[in-house]
Structure 1
Amino acid sequence: MTPLTGATSPRNDALRAARLRVGWRTMEQAAVALTAHGQALLDDMHFSVSPRTWRRWEGRERDRGWPLEETAQVLHDALSRWPEELGFAPPSGWIRPEAHHGEDMWRTFASVTAAALMPGPVATQHVDPALIDYFQQQLEGHYRADMFLGPHDLIGTVSAQYQLIDKLVRSAKGETRRGLLRAGAAYAALVGWLYQDAGDLGAAAFWRGVTQEIAVRSRDSHLIGYSLVNQAQVRTDLGDGHGVIDLCEAALTDADLLVPKVRIMALQQQAHGASLTGDRDAVDRLIDTADGLLPRVDDDLPWGNACRRTPGYLEVQRATCYGRLGLGVEADRLWTQVLAAVPATARRDRGVYLARHATAAAVSRDPDHAVEIAREAVVIALETRSVRMLRELGTLERVMRPWHDAPVGRDLAEVLGPVNEGS
């Protein structure tokens, strides 16, 4: 399901997400950048896209029109997407050009990696150690903003800061360099998470790999364990339970040397792997072990603090695992407890939890309750455009199929209509 232009949101989210991914923060900036890109690509100084045109493209579907052929080519070259992938309705007879398929694949890869891989040497500069604290403080702000904004509005900002850290690392020395490497690993992990939440698992896996490389270079055993858990998160979304377990067991090889926070993250993620392989006993054992470590979390590391920030953190994981195992009654009960403690500021997390709670209610054979819960989740999904949330709503839709022709099934279709539009 992809939220394109629902009744309550006429905005072209597909085009908006694509421009934010390449760092064009406003529609005016996008028009200027696309004009410059087109003039260079076509060798035509007369090529131009006005801010008014771009605003029309991001507006109502009936007003967007279809870009001219050369404009479609420029959009694709700049954003690695053809117009029909950017919220435009193709005209009759439109055939997508495929002559440069190999180049297209490279551009797609380059659009993901541009902020991570800075080629060649950079000019040497003095790097003040105080910059480490600066980036750590900024990181905490990004974590907070993520709860409010969702992934698309932050990917460009955070990846650009990672690129700056990478540049500084090349000039820094000694402990300053190691401190910046540790900060860089945390930033790369956050970019990976943002891509994962945005539904781009390829980009997420790439950035998780960057996280692991930087963590190893920092020689910080806690960060290395954290990076392996990050890799396991992607494996969880891919449904690879055994892969999740392998990575988490590797992270816990020298568990006694790790801060409790990293051990908790590895244990709870391993529980997700166990749920994917159908092992309920392992789920409970792993989460109970992690719960025993929670009182010992006292580090001042700026990353991986969900277990401190998130109310009922481990019960959230248990409820999610129970839902995956088909234990609807148990999951329904846990979600009711968890949601009662979720603060208003954690709006996107609340949306994900609500969608999972609705699915648990449906599994428990209470479809009316499922639809009631889904109403609030859909409102949040439209606000945040979290693909993770949309996937959870897609799961709800599948679980509710037995009631498809019943009044409650039609009610659900109406509730999900705005997020299903264009899917």
Structure 2
Amino acid sequence: MTDDSATPDTAHARLAGEIRRLRKAAKLSQPELAQRIGYSRNYVSMAERRSGNLPSQPLVNAIDTVLGAGGALRGLRGQAKREQRDLRLSAATGPANVVEAADQKGLALRLAETDSTSDSPQLGPNLEDVLSHLREQWHLLVKTDNLLGPRYALSGVLSQLDAVEELLASVRPEQRRDIVRVGAQYAESASWLYEDMCDVTTARRWCSQSLEWGLEADDQPMVTWALFRRSQQVAERNAGQILSLVQAARRASRDLPTPMRAALAQQEAYGLALDGDELQAQTRIDEAQNWAATDINGEARGGHGSFCTPDYLEVQRARCWLALGDPARAIELFEHHVPRLPTVYQRDRGMALGQLAQAYVSYGEPEQAARVAVEALRIGRRGSSLRTVADVKAVGGRLKDHAQLAPVSQLIAELAAG
């Protein structure tokens, strides 16, 4: 076992000690903290080591946020990075081109060149290459999320946001707009991923950042999309605020790609269903079908809203019927369209199965509800979709009076296994 007392008092050592102290103060084990930040336990263990590799910036950012360090951990990491740079510079002469890895997954973060007269990185001639790389990585991370869930996508998204923030720290004003536009995409993705991990506070913070950057870049479709995402973060039964935000999104940009129109229409349908307006809710879903997307690769190549395939929209129609208090119609649609969702959309499948389980409970079919809930639970846990897991836990709570039934007993056992 390493003797921490023998470790030099470096910023790296202080960072590791502070992470450990704050984690214990929050009464979290290493696995529990790992689950909250979307990393494996090994990453947390590595971050608490006083020697060896310095933990990545995205990892420290996530820990700082979850443990409420208020930027202290970020500051220590920055100091440790400067200490490492000073040691390297003392052993080398002249300017150097710097290419850093984002994390152990090997995503490239930035291309910069060091000015020999300044400690700050200056943008080199490769800015457009960097932006092209960031745009391409966004599509790949969207697919990672759809296939595997936030656990596997979040670290990459945070890594690229770190790259964006470092570029913005040294960019000239005339270059800022394109970087901010890319940053808004990543901020919105971070918002979505944290939302799926049931961290609504952080999700809203990133959504606000996306909106701010979208406004700065005069990217009206991005502003619209940020408002749409904000409508998804509203308390479940607050129909008025959902509808108000969707209407604000429509006003923000009237010239939208058809997938975004479909997404807005289905979200407005859900708000109308919560408000008890059956006719208008169904009309909005019909309108959304006119703008349905055809993305079966899960990479959002057609832009925001590409997930709104015809079957996805019918699943949302089923969700509306459930909100309207008609589980029979909801079940019929769920059963027909969930199996037809593109296979890449695993997280959407898990969420839809969780809603189908709720419909079965409302319809008085506890055994079928439990069977479907177990399937949803397994999908949710594979991808760390804590929202899906929370939906299944709610189903388990509603089924507790049927614990004598074998499928319900299995569901309760799997929930308890945690």
Q: Distance in 2 between matches of 1:367 and 1:112?
A: 49
Judge conservation of contact 1:80–1:111 (CA < 8 Å) in 2. Answer: no
Relative to the length of structure 1, the TM-score reads 0.69
2:331 maps to 332
With over 3 angstroms needed to count, the CA separation of the structure-2 counterparts of 1:133 and 1:219, relative to structure 1, is same
Deviations 1:87-113, CA, capped at 9 Å, x for gaps: xxxxxxxxxxxxxxxxx7x52687899
Paired amino acid for 2:136: Q
Question: How much has 1:194 moved relative to structure 2?
Answer: 0.7
* Runs of 5+ unmatched residues, structure 1: 1-12, 38-47, 49-77, 82-103, 116-120
Deviations 1:154-196, CA, capped at 9 Å, x for gaps: 3222112112112223444588533322221111111111101
Judge conservation of contact 1:374–1:415 (CA < 8 Å) in 2. Answer: yes
In the TM superposition, what are the counterparts of 1:97-112 in structure 2 within 5 Å? 106-107=68-69
Q: Percent identity?
A: 24
With over 3 angstroms needed to count, the CA separation of the structure-2 counterparts of 1:23 and 1:113, relative to structure 1, is farther
Q: Distance in 1 between matches of 2:229 and 2:73?
A: 22
2:213 maps to 214
1:34 maps to 48
2:408 maps to 412
Question: How much has 1:392 moved relative to structure 2?
Answer: 1.7
Q: Distance in 2 between matches of 1:132 and 1:252?
A: 28
Judge conservation of contact 1:208–1:231 (CA < 8 Å) in 2. Answer: yes
With over 3 angstroms needed to count, the CA separation of the structure-2 counterparts of 1:142 and 1:199, relative to structure 1, is same
Deviations 1:130-173, CA, capped at 9 Å, x for gaps: 22221111111111111232212332221121121122234445
Judge conservation of contact 1:18–1:79 (CA < 8 Å) in 2. Answer: no
2:19 maps to none
With over 3 angstroms needed to count, the CA separation of the structure-2 counterparts of 1:261 and 1:382, relative to structure 1, is closer
With over 3 angstroms needed to count, the CA separation of the structure-2 counterparts of 1:200 and 1:19, relative to structure 1, is same
1:384 maps to 383
Deviates more, 1:243-252 or 1:258-267: 258-267
Deviations 1:227-255, CA, capped at 9 Å, x for gaps: 110111111x5542211111110111265
2:249 maps to 251
Question: How much has 1:398 moved relative to structure 2?
Answer: 4.2
The partner residue of 1:18 within 12, 33, 57 is 33
Q: Distance in 2 between matches of 1:349 and 1:111?
A: 34
Deviations 1:265-291, CA, capped at 9 Å, x for gaps: 222222222233232223212222222
Paired amino acid for 2:166: K
Relative to the length of structure 2, the TM-score reads 0.70
Q: Distance in 2 between matches of 1:311 and 1:15?
A: 42
Deviates more, 1:161-170 or 1:173-182: 173-182
Deviations 1:342-393, CA, capped at 9 Å, x for gaps: 2443333222211211221222222232223223223223322311111221
1:158 maps to 157
1:223 maps to 222
Judge conservation of contact 2:224–2:253 (CA < 8 Å) in 1. Answer: no
With over 3 angstroms needed to count, the CA separation of the structure-2 counterparts of 1:405 and 1:367, relative to structure 1, is closer
Q: Distance in 1 between matches of 2:213 and 2:127?
A: 20
Judge conservation of contact 2:221–2:253 (CA < 8 Å) in 1. Answer: no
Corresponding position: 1:233 with 2:232: yes
Judge conservation of contact 1:378–1:416 (CA < 8 Å) in 2. Answer: no
RMSD of equivalent CA atoms: 3.6
Paired amino acid for 1:356: Q
Judge conservation of contact 2:30–2:41 (CA < 8 Å) in 1. Answer: no
With over 3 angstroms needed to count, the CA separation of the structure-2 counterparts of 1:324 and 1:352, relative to structure 1, is same
Judge conservation of contact 2:139–2:301 (CA < 8 Å) in 1. Answer: no
Judge conservation of contact 1:22–1:111 (CA < 8 Å) in 2. Answer: no
Q: Distance in 2 between matches of 1:110 and 1:233?
A: 31
* Runs of 5+ unmatched residues, structure 2: 1-27, 53-62, 78-118
Q: Distance in 1 between matches of 2:166 and 2:200?
A: 26
Question: How much has 1:300 moved relative to structure 2?
Answer: 5.9
Deviates more, 1:389-398 or 1:187-196: 389-398
Q: Distance in 2 between matches of 1:150 and 1:113?
A: 30
With over 3 angstroms needed to count, the CA separation of the structure-2 counterparts of 1:26 and 1:413, relative to structure 1, is closer
